[in-house]
Structure 1
Amino acid sequence: MNSIWKSGIYGLIIGDATGVPVEFSTREEREKNPIKDMTGYGTYNQPEGTWSDDSSMALATLTSIKDKGKIDYKDIMDRFHDWCMYGEYTPFGEVFDIGIATSRAVMKYSNGAKPLESGGKTEWDNGNGSLMRILPVCLYLFEQQKSLNISDDEVIDMVHNCSALTHAHIRSKLACGIYYFLVRSVLRECGELTERLQIGIDNAFEYYGKNNENELGNYNRLISLSQFKNIPKELIKSTGYVVYTLEAAIWCLINTSSYKEAVLKAVNLGDDTDTIAAVTGGLAGLYYTYDKIPASWRAKVQKKDWIDSLLKA
C-alpha cells in the first residue's frame, strides 16, 4: 500500500482519536474551552491517541481488503463481528463505543442474516456508522478504477453494498457514494482543496442525477461549496445523522487551510466529535498528506506499529 493509504488512514484515525475525549460535549462547552491539541481521557477515560469504533471498523475493512485482495462482504462482516464481540481491531482489546444501528446489524449477521441483508433499511437507520468507515473501500476502488477502468456504476454499487452491511437505507448509501467522489477528486484533480471537493460534488450530483435518485435532495446544501462555505457555524449541525456529518466535515475542510485546523474545527463543533473529525480527517489527510499531520499527534497514536504494518505494501 502506498503513501495515499497512509495519509488517508492516519488522517481518519488521528481525527477520530482527537475527538474521542470530548465526544458528546456540547458546542457551548467547546466554545468556552476549545480543544487545541490531541488530548486524552475525558468522555471514555482513555489515554491520548486512543481511537474508537470509527477507526476499528475502518481498520477491519482495510485488513480484509489487504488479506483478500478484493472487497469480500462476508469477510468484512466476520471482522466486524470479531471487533464487536472480542475487541479485535481496537487499541486495548475492548470496545468502548459502538452505534446502535451498527450493533444491531452485527447481531443480525451473527444470527444468520446474509451480509448484505444485515444493515437497517428504515428512515431511522441513517446514522453515520457506514460513512465513518468507508474510506478504505474508497481508496481501494479508486485504485481499481484507475488501473482497470471499471465503470462508476460498478464502483458505486460496491460502495453502496459496503454501506449496507450496517446501514442499508439509500440516504446512507448516498453519503458513502458522495464521499467516494470526493476522495477521487481530491486524489485525481489539481487545484486548491475547495476546487477539488467541488469537482467531486459535481460528479456525484451528475451521477446520481442520471439515476433519478430522489434522496439526493437531502444533500442540496452542498451543491455550491462557495455558498456553503459562508453558512454560519450555528447552522452546521454536528450530530450523528449522516447528512449532518457529511455537511459538517466538508464545511470544516473548506473553512481551514491545514490538517490540524480542519480536525480541530471539526472537534470543536461538539456532539459527535470523533466521527465528524474522522470523516474530516480522512479527506484532509489525503489532501495535505501524512507528513503535514502534526508529528506529535502521529507519535501519540495507540498501536502505531501495528497500523504501520497494515499499511505496508
Structure 2
Amino acid sequence: MDNIWKSGIYGLIIGDAVGVPVEFTSREDRKKTPITDMTGYGTYNQPEGTWSDDSSMVLATLASIRDRGRIDYKDIMDRFHNWCMYGAYTPFDNVFDIGIATSRAIIKYGNGAEPLKSGGETEWDNGNGSLMRILPVCLHIFEKQKKLNLSDNEALNIIHNCSAMTHAHLRSKMACGIYYFLVKAVIEKDGEITERLQIGIDNAFRYYRLNTGVEISSYNRIISLFEFKDIPEENIKSTGYVVDTLEAALWCLLNTSSYREAILKAVNLGNDTDTIAAVTGGVAGIFYGYENIPDKWKSQIQRKDLIESLLV
C-alpha cells in the first residue's frame, strides 16, 4: 500500500493514542493542564502509545480490504466481532473502550442479523462510531474510482453501507460520505488545506443536495470553511455526536499548520478526545505526510508490527 495509506492510517492511530489518556476530561481541565505530548495512563490506565476502539476498527477494516481486495461487509463484521469478543486488533488483546451503538450492532450481528441490518437507525444512533473507522474505506473507494471509474453514487453507496453496519441513520452515513469527499479533495487537489477541504465540502453538499434532501442541513455550519474557521472555540463542541465530531475535526484542521498542532488542538478540546483526534489525524496525516508526523510519536505507538503488517 502506498504512502497515502501509511500517512492516513498512522495519522489516525497516533491521534487516537494521544487522546486516549484524557478521554472524557473536560475542556476546563485541558485548559489548566494542556496536553503537549503523547502521554500514558490517565482515563483507561493504559501505557503511552495505546490506541483504542477507533484504531482497532480501522485495522480490522484494513485487514479485510487487504485480504479480500474489496469491501466485504460480512468479513468486516466478522472481524469487528472478533475484536469486540476476543480483543483482536488491539494493542494488548483487551477491549477497554467501545461505543454503545457499536456494541449493540455487533451483538445484533452475532445473534444473526445481516451486516447491513445491524446498525441502529434512529435519531439517537448518531454517535461518531462509523465516522471514526471509515478512513480505510474512503482510501479504497478513492482508488476504485480512479481505476474503475465508479460513479459517485456507487462510491457513496458503499461508504453508506459501511456506516450502516453500526450506524444506519442517514446523518451518520452522510458524515462518512462528507469525510470521503474531504479525503478525496486533500489527495487530489493543490493548495492550502482550507482550499482543499472547501472543495471537498462543495462536492459533498452538491452531491447530498441532489440525493438526500433536507438532512444535509444538519451540516450547514461547515458550508463555508473560510467562515467556519473563525468560529470561537467555545462554540465548537467536542462530544461524541457525529456532527459535533466532524465539525471539531474540521475546525482543528483549519486552525493549525502542522500535524502535531492539529492533534494537540483536537485533544485539548476535551471530552471525546481520542475520536476527534483520530478523525482529525486521518486527514492531517494525508495532508502533511507520514514524514511530518513527529518521530517520537511514531516510536511510542504500541503494536507497530501489527500496523506495519497491514500496510504492506
What's the TM-score bracket when you normalise by the shorter of the two chains?
Answer: over 0.9
Alpha-carbon offset, residue 214 of structure 1? 1.3
Give the letter for the 1:230 counterpart: D
Structure 1's unaligned 5+ residue stretches are none
Give the letter for the 1:199 counterpart: I
Partner of 1:203: 203
Name the SS of the counterpart of 2:123 in structure 1. Answer: coil
Partner of 2:130: 130
Give the letter for the 2:138 counterpart: C
Partner of 1:230: 230
* Mapping for residues 209-248 of structure 1, pairs under 5 Å: 209-248=209-248
Alpha-carbon offset, residue 149 of structure 1? 1.0
Does 2:91 match 1:87? no
* Cα displacement string for residues 182-231 of structure 1 (whole angstroms, at most 9, x for unaligned residues): 00000000000000000000000000111142110000000000100000
State the alpha-carbon separation in 1 of the partners of residues 261 and 255 from structure 2. 9
Alpha-carbon offset, residue 51 of structure 1? 0.1
State the alpha-carbon separation in 1 of the partners of residues 169 and 47 from structure 2. 35
Give the letter for the 2:52 counterpart: S
* Cα displacement string for residues 46-100 of structure 1 (whole angstroms, at most 9, x for unaligned residues): 0010000000000000000000000000000000000000000000000000000
Alpha-carbon offset, residue 306 of structure 1? 1.8
Alpha-carbon offset, residue 147 of structure 1? 1.3
Structure 1 runs (4+) greater than 6 angstroms displaced: none
Partner of 2:39: 39
Name the SS of the counterpart of 1:124 in structure 2. Answer: helix
Q: Which moved more, 1:211-220 or 1:266-275?
A: 211-220
* Mapping for residues 1-313 of structure 1, pairs under 5 Å: 1-312=1-312
State the alpha-carbon separation in 1 of the partners of residues 251 and 239 from structure 2. 14
Give the letter for the 1:110 counterpart: G
Alpha-carbon offset, residue 258 of structure 1? 0.2
Alpha-carbon offset, residue 108 of structure 1? 0.1
Question: Structure 2-normalised TM-score?
Answer: 1.00
Name the SS of the counterpart of 1:96 in structure 2. Answer: coil
State the alpha-carbon separation in 1 of the partners of residues 102 and 212 from structure 2. 28
Give the letter for the 1:236 counterpart: I
User: Identity of counterpart residues, as a percentage?
Assistant: 74
Name the SS of the counterpart of 2:124 in structure 1. Answer: coil
State the alpha-carbon separation in 1 of the partners of residues 31 and 146 from structure 2. 43
Give the letter for the 2:170 counterpart: I
Structure 2's unaligned 5+ residue stretches are none
Q: Which moved more, 1:63-72 or 1:207-216?
A: 207-216
State the alpha-carbon separation in 2 of the partners of residues 296 and 192 from structure 1. 26
State the alpha-carbon separation in 1 of the partners of residues 250 and 56 from structure 2. 23
Root-mean-square deviation (Å): 0.5
Change (3 A) 1:46 1:71: same
Name the SS of the counterpart of 1:139 in structure 2. Answer: helix
* Cα displacement string for residues 99-152 of structure 1 (whole angstroms, at most 9, x for unaligned residues): 000000000000000000000000000000000000000000001101111100
Q: How many pairs are equivalent?
A: 312
State the alpha-carbon separation in 2 of the partners of residues 142 and 239 from structure 1. 29
State the alpha-carbon separation in 1 of the partners of residues 173 and 214 from structure 2. 13
Give the letter for the 1:196 counterpart: R
